[in-house]
Structure 1
């Protein structure tokens, strides 16, 4: 895997040479659109409806729509005049506590590994951040775009998360559906809390799988093999008549599931043989 970016983490007068790799990848299955008659892949053309002609790349420019149907043209020389940090540096501005950052601000995750001659300062920064429990807030320019970012400890490595600026996070006040008031009975809250506690566990990401992708792959593999695809009927969701009854039933179901897991774990353990005289 080739690094996407090479640069340095800069904090105070210390520079840490690093390389950046993508930390995640989408496993969505991609489909091509085909013409149903001949199964030929559909082509997408850049077409101008005014000139009624396909437009070559050299005739395409950037346009910003400042009013409906009215554009201002932005050329390369206009962008070149904007000062931007292209020094391949992750400039740390502050250190904060991770719980202070709401996850809504996080965008993409990347691994940071030490660059050439960077092992010692990299280890120093990682260990100091681990001992203080702090997360670094920084600025970084990736693919010509400056981003706010958070650098944090992740196992033996450092991870950088690009972040949205506050102006990019839409205000909750813009959602009219949240303008309501509801009176809750104390018993309802108590039952809901009990249900949450009965379902509470430690986060184990390996236990969660993309079941939709797995089922879709079965359909694809069956079609490749020429087999008929059997689609199981979906179970109908039960109608909730009373909130309290639904909470009680959910708690009982959670208890039974936990008891089943506990029993299964105990059954898996080998039994000790009794000593015979």
Structure 2
């Protein structure tokens, strides 16, 4: 797995060199755009609007438009030269309780691995944060942006979560109404929640639609017809049926599973 970012965690006067690795991968099926008539791949060409010639990746540079149609060009080397070791360092700014950071601020996750000679300092920071029940709010430059981070300890290591800045968070477009609830309905809803509450096991969940999509594609490849999904629509209870829906849901959850007959 490729390193997404290299730097060092700065904890007071303690310097902990680390490498960040992505925690996720895209497993979704990718489709190509094809010509309707020939089924050939659709390709896009990049060209210069001034001279009309096609340009390739090695011929493209980054430019900032400081006035209309006027640009200042910045090469990759110049962008890297601007970064100092201080910029690449993950500076711990403060420690907070994990629940104090609203979930809306989280963006991406990375695994942080220490360099070999920094393993003891890394473990010291991880264990101290884990025992105190805190995360470290930090900053570092990733790419061309100073990124806000949360260093989150667990039993294995330190998970680095990138955070949005407050100015990047968009306010809710309108207020969500809070109509008055009936106690009997609320109690029933709580019972339903309780009946469905159990330890989280991520291995139980997977993308079922992707499985159906893969089967449909395989059927097409083998020359079979794609089987259409059932057109039956789920019914949504109206506010008038809320209590009835809760009662039936709870009864379904509490119904004992049918035992299979044992053949002798």
The normalised TM-score by structure 1 is 0.80
Structure-1 residue corresponding to 2:200:
203
CA RMSD for the aligned pairs?
Answer: 2.9
Partner Cα separation in structure 2 for residue 215 and residue 36 of structure 1: 24
Which residues in structure 2 correspond to 1:44-63 (within 5 Å)?
A: 44-46=44-46, 53-54=52-53, 56=55, 58=59, 62=63
1:233 aligns with 2:254: no
**8 A contact 2:22–2:109 mirrored in 1:** yes
Distance 1:62 1:206, change over 3 A: same
Structure-2 residue corresponding to 1:145:
145
Structure-2 residue corresponding to 1:272:
none
Q: Among 207, 210, 215, which residue is 1:218 paired with?
A: 215
Equivalent pairs, count = 254
**8 A contact 1:61–1:73 mirrored in 2:** no
1:194 aligns with 2:191: yes
1:182 aligns with 2:176: no
Q: Among 70, 73, 76, which residue is 1:75 paired with?
A: 73
**2:139 match: secondary structure:** strand
Partner Cα separation in structure 2 for residue 217 and residue 46 of structure 1: 33
Partner Cα separation in structure 2 for residue 188 and residue 65 of structure 1: 60
Partner Cα separation in structure 1 for residue 11 and residue 109 of structure 2: 20
**2:120 match: secondary structure:** helix
Q: CA deviation at 1:231?
A: 2.1
Distance 1:22 1:112, change over 3 A: same
Partner Cα separation in structure 2 for residue 180 and residue 186 of structure 1: 18
Structure-2 residue corresponding to 1:125:
125
Q: CA deviation at 1:17?
A: 1.4
**8 A contact 1:86–1:141 mirrored in 2:** no
**1:53 match: secondary structure:** coil
Structure 2 residue ranges without an equivalent (≥5): none
Partner Cα separation in structure 2 for residue 59 and residue 239 of structure 1: 53
Q: CA deviation at 1:204?
A: 1.1
Partner Cα separation in structure 1 for residue 92 and residue 5 of structure 2: 17
Partner Cα separation in structure 1 for residue 70 and residue 192 of structure 2: 56
The normalised TM-score by structure 2 is 0.84
Distance 1:86 1:215, change over 3 A: farther
**8 A contact 1:84–1:146 mirrored in 2:** no
**2:15 match: secondary structure:** strand
Q: CA deviation at 1:227?
A: 2.0
Q: Deviations over 1:185-237 (max 9, x none)?
A: 22222222222222111111111111111111111122222222212314321
Partner Cα separation in structure 2 for residue 60 and residue 153 of structure 1: 40
Structure-1 residue corresponding to 2:249:
250
Structure 1 residue ranges without an equivalent (≥5): 268-277
**8 A contact 1:6–1:115 mirrored in 2:** no
